[in-house]
Amino acid sequence: MITAQHTGADIDEAEVVAGFLAGDEACLEAAHRRWRPLVHALAWRSLGDAKEAEDVTQLVFLAAWRGRAGFRPERGTLSGWLVGITRRKIADALSARTRRNELVAAAGARMLLQPADGGAGADASIDRVLLADELSRLPAPQRRVLNLAFYDDLTQTQIAEFTGWPLGTVKSHARRGLHRLASRLRESGAVEHAV
């Protein structure tokens, strides 16, 4: 058992691990002091954002504490286990970032499809024609997924059910289609109207 007089640096790693597994919060604090810099550095390097890295660091130690029963000292070190959790949390953060970016791109495309003035403006009409033209240039699977998302307002899960394609395939087609569409619209200058 770790007492308040310990600073964390003078505690033996085996003591920290034993206490951590036993649910001793002082050992969690000691583990946090000892390995937080490593976890934060990995997250910051992968994400390139200090706030996201701090969030991931907190999530890692929370997940480790909640899942401590799954840690097996005979399989590896506590620091190695924390690094594994860190990699998974970084992957989750990157996936969430990709989803946010796709939503922003989709919102920009929706603004072109459904302008605020109800389509009365000449610019809105031109933008819709340009968007329809660019959509028609996409490969058929990407075009189909984006048409179902934009015009039929289906979610990716609904598109997967409708088409019979795996959800991962639908997501890939949507992501590639949105990236290609966004870059073509940027080249033509149409995105500026949507922002």
Residue 154 DSSP SS3:
coil
Which of 6-10, 155-159, 165-169 shows the lowest mean pLDDT across its residues? 6-10
Through-space distance between the first and last CA atoms of the chain, rounded to whole angstroms:
58
pLDDT band at 123, cuts 50/70/90? low
Section 8-13 average pLDDT? 68
**Contact present, 106 and 149 (Cβ < 8 Å):** yes
pLDDT in tens, 63-107: 999 999 999 999 999 999 999 999 999 999 888 888 777 766 666
CA 77 from centre of chain: 28
What dihedral angle (degrees, nearest 10) is formed by the CA atoms of 58, 63, 64, 67?
A: 170
**Contact present, 65 and 27 (Cβ < 8 Å):** no
Helix (H) or strand (E) holding 107: helix 78-113
Which of 116-130, 131-145, 161-175 shows the lowest mean pLDDT across its residues? 116-130
| pLDDT on residue 2 | 47
Q: How far, in Å, CA of 162 to CA of 59, rounded?
A: 36
| pLDDT on residue 149 | 83
pLDDT in tens, 175-185: 888 888 788 77
Burial 13-39 (b: 16+ CB within 10 A, else e): eeebbebbeeebebbbbbbbebbbeeb
Task: Tell me what percent of the residues of the chain surpass a pLDDT of 90.
Answer: 39
The full set of domains in the chain, from first to last, is 13-95 (1.10.1740.10), 114-194 (1.10.10.10)
**Contact present, 134 and 184 (Cβ < 8 Å):** yes
| pLDDT on residue 146 | 85
DSSP label at residue 43: H
| pLDDT on residue 42 | 96
Section 29-36 average pLDDT? 95
Q: How far, in Å, CA of 78 to CA of 86, rounded?
A: 12
pTM > 0.85: yes or no: no
Summary mean pLDDT of the chain:
81
| pLDDT on residue 106 | 65
Contacting residues for 189 by C-beta, under 8 A, at least 6 apart: none
| pLDDT on residue 161 | 87
